[in-house]
Structure 1
């Protein structure tokens, strides 16, 4: 198996942000140069739930918009959390195998918690272990801003060992959550950028970090 996959690109399931879509995330990721994107097999998935309110990208990107789960205003109660993950797992079973996950915003918050829940045997039991994460504007379930749904109560009880790339915006409202999330990973690789809650273009330094991370995950994916 390893030999047959040696020349394949790492296959990555991409989870979009709150009240956006797979198509929008694909457009955002294409700010990154083709020299990066051609090394990855990126698969974009729409979340299962139509937007339940106004989208922050309304007027910038066309609808429809989707969300992975819903929460009350202070993020202490969640709806559709387990169902959203089951939807992802079903897609991974039918369209995998996937090596890793890329998430932006709500998609990154969810992706960050999945390896820990998978290690507990609570979710993604029918698919291979998640080997790496790319988290853009992420946050921590069970951190200071977001309470943890019951399923994710112990998602970060042990440090997450899989390689992780964290993209953090200097002016992002989720910056404190993104920083706090780093402590939950064994060896997080970090890109800081001057923008806000967005997927940034890559400057020379960021591009070097991304390319080094891709080299790392290629080895992990084909191992």
Structure 2
């Protein structure tokens, strides 16, 4: 066994963007993070399957096109095109995988929080390897009762990193999500519903998380 066998590989994450944005926009947002973090991860960005059906909050900040993962009612309790969204993600993972984890922001984060449980209960992603890690930015739980029962009926066991913004309108829901996780690590930041830059403490927390999941991949070879 040479020393090369000891080099951990980069954890590979499928990155799911926010509502009515795009993979390219998420990439721009994530690239606010230091190179010391980005060089440790293999990040793959996917556009959601449905073109935006209304105005995007990022118009005038980021160029179109904009996409959405699924549609929902005013109470966020009923979803449209959710099954199609799951099939679309699974098809991409089959063709471009394998992936170790999911990174999600906003609608992409909400979707990501549900996928490990939906996978474990046989509802989604049954043809791809188990999701091992989550990075959740501005996230919450799925609110559709039928989906939530399957997604969160058991605790989320995979290691997860959560970004909680002090003025994020989803903060309270993000805190509820963390209670459903067995192994959560939390980065608090003073901003709102956004992907923040990393301060010294946040950077240290994130590097420690990435180092740990890299070593888990090494141990599971």
Q: Same fold (TM over 0.5)?
A: yes
TM-score by length of 2: 0.94
Partner of residue 191, structure 1: 187
Stretches of structure 1 lacking an aligned partner (at least 5 in a row): 142-146
User: Residues 77, 5 of structure 1: CA spacing in aligned structure 2 closer, same or farther, 3 A cutoff?
Assistant: farther
> Aligned residue for 1:81?
82
The answer (yes or no) to whether the contact 2:159–2:184 under 8 Å persists in 1 is yes
Query: Is structure 2 residue 96 aligned with structure 1 residue 95?
Result: yes
Corresponding residue for residue 144 of structure 1: none
Deviation at 1:153, TM superposition (A): 2.8
Deviation string, structure 1 residues 119-148 (Cα, Å, up to 9, x no partner) = 11111111100000000000011xxxxx22
Asked if structure 2 preserves the Cα contact closer than 8 Å seen for 1:131 and 1:221, the reply is no
Aligned to 1:208: 204
The gaps in structure 2 that reach 5 residues or longer are none
Higher helix share: 2
Q: Distance in 1 between matches of 2:128 and 2:145?
A: 22
Q: Structure 2: how far apart are the matches of 1:139 and 1:5?
A: 36
Residues 180 and 152 of structure 1: CA distance in aligned 2, closer, same or farther (over 3 Å): closer
Describe the SS at the equivalent of 1:155: helix
Q: 1:9 to 1:151 in 2, by over 3 A?
A: same
Q: Deviations over 1:56-83 (max 9, x none)?
A: 0010000000000000111121101111
Deviation by residue 1:85-105 (Cα, 9 ceiling, x = unmatched): 110000000000000000000
The count of corresponding residues between Structure 1 and Structure 2 is: 216
The DSSP-based 3-state class of the residue aligned with 2:151 is coil
What SS class does the counterpart of residue 56 from structure 1 fall into?
coil
Structure 1 residues 149, 5: CA separation in 2 closer, same or farther (over 3 Å shift)?
farther
Match of residue 215 from structure 2:
219
Per the alignment, residue 170 of structure 1 pairs with: 166
> Given the two structures, how large is their TM-score scaled by the length of structure 1?
0.93
